[in-house]
Amino acid sequence: MKIQWYPGHMAKAKRKMKEDLPLCDVIVEVIDSRCPNSSRNPEIDQLAKDKIRILLFNKLDLADDERSKLFMEDFHRRGFFTLGIDARNRASVKRVSKLIQEASQPLYEKNRKKGISSQMVRAMVLGIPNVGKSTFINAFVGRSTAKTGNKPGVTRGNQWIKLDKNVQLLDTPGITWPKFEREIVGYNLALIGSINDDILPIEDLVFYFLKYLVRYYPKAILERYGIEPEEGEAALSIMDKIAVKRACIKKGGDVDYTRVSRLILDDFRSGRLGKISLEHPGKWSDEGDEDSAV
Ligand code: G4P
């Protein structure tokens, strides 16, 4: 199944980003820690190859700690400055200022050599929809400068925000892929709410997710629903059991798959299933991801 999702405003956002990139020294890319690969825009690496790159692993509170740590180490090795944050928490966000200053040292040095004493750096925040860019900027700047919204793909006008005497921040709309080259990316983005819920049938999405949970996080199923997956038990059978436990049954006695799917998805998105990551560090290759259950 190929997902085609490239609304008109994404093309506009991408054009604007290309225009704004030359104005910035530092790129602060916000990603969702639960799926660092799927929630990055691979095109940015090419577009911003001369920039100082900071990768903010947001929603760290929802992701598997061990996997997040390994992912951060991996991206650090690839030349990124990385930091795990919960954008809703001002204390965690405050560390970003320090990181921008630290990351900008080579730039300051270069400027000094050219006789420029100003240490002003211009940074740009970007990321795909719903990763928490607006929440981050609000917490970072300390007032409600950027509008948050729960609709994937909501765009905002760009604006410069002066953080302190050394850093200016440009808030830009999120951009995403023109096409989803791997199936698993579409599923992951749908699970984290970065593409609209009506793009994929929710029952298919949650069936995929349950297969993944049975394989990697069976304890989460036990702890949340009191159901212990049996050896080799099919995801559908577990879905049925959850439906019975949570009274997601239609009048005639059939399982209400839409309701039970919504319930499981809400539990995942809100963190009630515990800290769950959708990707493994080091398993992302062009040949396909072995996690793909579809
Ligand atoms: P965007 O600009 O990248 O599109 O994302 P935005 O800031 O609008 O955030 C999307 C949703 O993610 C918001 O929830 C926001 O509260 C939540 N969020 C952002 N950062 C974090 C984080 O570090 N941890 C957790 N758990 N959630 C985070 P929402 O339900 O859409 O809105 P709201 O009800 O929270 O206002």
Ligand 1 atom with the smallest distance to the CA of 92 is 23
Each residue's pLDDT, cut to its tens digit, for the chain (294 residues) gives 556 666 667 777 778 778 888 889 999 999 999 999 999 887 888 888 899 999 999 999 999 999 999 999 999 999 999 999 999 998 888 899 889 989 998 888 888 888 887 778 999 888 888 999 889 988 887 754 544 444 444 444 557 788 777 888 886 545 555 456 678 888 999 999 998 888 889 999 999 999 999 999 999 999 999 999 998 899 999 999 999 999 999 999 999 999 999 999 999 999 999 999 999 998 665 444 455 443
pLDDT (tens digit per residue) in 206-243: 999 999 999 999 999 999 999 999 988 999 999 999 99
pLDDT at residue 285 in the model = 52
Q: How far is the CA of 83 from the centre of ligand 1 (A)?
A: 17
Nearest residue by C-alpha to atom 14 in ligand 1: 150
Give yes or no for residue 88 CB within 6 A of ligand 1. Answer: yes
pLDDT at residue 134 in the model = 87
CA distances from 185 to 49, 116, 191 (A): 23, 44, 10
pLDDT at residue 120 in the model = 84
CATH of 201-270, one of 1.10.10.10, 1.10.1580.10, 3.90.1330.10, 1.25.40.10: 1.10.1580.10
pLDDT at residue 2 in the model = 57
Backbone angles phi, psi at 54, to 5 degrees: -115, 130
**What is the complex's ipTM, to 2 decimals?**
0.96
Closest by CA to 219, choosing from 67, 64, 60, is 64
Q: Which residue has the tokens 């992701």?
A: 63
Q: How far is the CA of 131 from the centre of ligand 1 (A)?
A: 7
Closest by CA to 135, choosing from 122, 126, 144, is 144
Q: How far apart are CA 221 and CA 89, in angstroms?
A: 28
Q: How far is the CA of 132 from the centre of ligand 1 (A)?
A: 5
Q: How far is the CA of 10 from the centre of ligand 1 (A)?
A: 20
Residues of the chain with CATH 1.10.1580.10: 201-270
pLDDT at residue 66 in the model = 97
First to last CA, the chain: 9
Task: Please state which CATH number belongs to domain 8-171.
Answer: 3.40.50.300
Q: How many helices (H) and strands (E) does the chain have?
A: 11, 6
Q: How far apart are CA 9 and CA 13, in angstroms?
A: 6
pLDDT at residue 151 in the model = 42
pLDDT at residue 286 in the model = 43
Residues of the chain with CATH 3.40.50.300: 8-171
Cα 111–chain centre separation: 34
pLDDT at residue 152 in the model = 46
pLDDT at residue 148 in the model = 44
